[in-house]
Amino acid sequence: MLRDLADVGQSVWLDYIRRQILDNGELDSMISDGLRGLTSNPTIFHQAIAGSDDYDSAISSYLIEHPDAPVEEVYEHLAIADIRRAADAFADVYRDTDGLDGYVSLEVSPHLAHDTETTLSEARRLWNLVDRPNLMIKVPATPAGIPAITELIGSGINVNATLMFSMDHYEAVAQAYLDGLANAPDPRRVASVASFFVSRVDAKIDALLEKIGTDEAMALRGTVAVANSRSVYHRYLQIFEGDDFAGLREAGGRPQRVLWASTSTKNPEYNDLLYVEPLIGADTVNTLPPATLEALQDHGTVTAGAVLDDPDGVFETIDMLTDVGVDLDQATEELQVEGVGKFSTSFDELMSALASEIERLR
């Protein structure tokens, strides 16, 4: 299944990391089956470290050597070790695809989402600390994150631009990539993806439609996230297959692929592959949590170019949303703020849980 998707231009990355899958060979097996990358975020690390005993021995060993280490230092030691191992596991994919795939993403602290300069310094520090060419630093597409993305790309650091929900967010990130790549010392060696969030849009918009309650509004439930994402893919094609990118392409620069994020189905009434099958397209990435990846392999269908289906309907859906009284721009701006807040909360909960674990092990 994963190789079938690769044949039609879509790479599947795993939205999950945990030491167990590094130790027991599960990640290696998934790579053999066609998995082509991995992403992480504060919520994933919270679930991995605080939700298991996988890390107890590593924590204990580190505390023996560094008995007074603060909790942030212990977390970074654990996370960096996992990210390095995952990057090494994908090294052959990175080599065999000539740097198209094989990437592992590590996010800067979500508490820096509104601080450009500290985001830059932290991203550079993490890049040097991990020291793997197939690392991507995740930076949120906030107003403060956009200039950081430009600077990082310009200095040759791979970037996964994240927390995008709207066309405005996407266009700002694409322009940041173009501006950064124009200044990169070697455009051929810089990679970036634009992580566009999908299911959270329906979760937000559906609630607004249900409050309105008319037949027209209710008919739009479960349709907006895919339409919103498809509209962004159309814009991707305009930018990266048009004049804006022509010169950089000639210099060896790669297009900044769209990555579909938040692809698990939140509403149990909806198809479990609602945010996967309709978004299959050339030069895209879909990052899947384990349950969605399992569903895809069990009963998924690969349709080449599905993301381009019904182009008129895509924009009709967005227009109808306005007609029934929902402001998509306002909703997506709120989603970005909420996304930063959720990741910040997860990070704080992780630090609290890890601090308790450190005390127990001490």
Retrieve residue 360's tokens: 């127990």
Q: Under a CB-based contact definition with an 8 Å cutoff, are residues 118 and 100 in contact?
A: no
Domain range summary for the chain, segments of one domain joined by +: 2-198+249-305+335-361
Indicate the pLDDT class of residue 46, thresholds 50, 70 and 90: confident
161, pLDDT greater than 80 = yes
As a whole number, the mean pLDDT across the chain is 96
Complete DSSP assignment for 148-193: HHHHHHHTT--EEEEEE-SHHHHHHHHHHHHHHHHH-S-GGG--EE
DSSP 24: S
138 labelled catalytic: yes
Contact 272, 295 (CB under 8 A): yes
Query: What is the predicted pLDDT for the residue at 105?
Result: 97
* Selection from 117, 113, 100 nearest residue 145 by Cα: 113
User: How confident is the model at residue 234, as a pLDDT?
Assistant: 97
Q: Quick one: which of 52, 326, 347 has its CA closest to 210? A: 326
Whether the CB-CB separation of 104 and 90 falls below 8 Å is answered with yes
198-222 pLDDT per residue, tens: 999 999 999 999 999 999 999 999 9
Query: Is 59 in a helix, a strand, or coil?
Result: helix
Catalytic residue (choose from 138, 204, 211, 266): 138
Is the overall model pTM greater than 0.85, yes or no?
A: yes
Q: Which residues pair with 194 in a beta bridge?
A: 161, 258
> Into which CATH architecture does domain 2-198+249-305+335-361 fall?
Alpha-Beta Barrel (3.20)
Quick one: average pLDDT of 72-89?
96
The CA-based dihedral angle spanning residues 66, 67, 72, 77, taken in that order and rounded to the nearest 10 degrees: 30
pLDDT of residue 146: 98
pLDDT of residue 360 exceeding 90: no
What's residue 48's pLDDT?
87
CA dihedral 133, 134, 140, 146 (to 10 degrees): 50
Distance CA 287, CA 260 (A): 6
- Residue 272: the pLDDT is 96
pLDDT surpassing 80 at residue 362: no
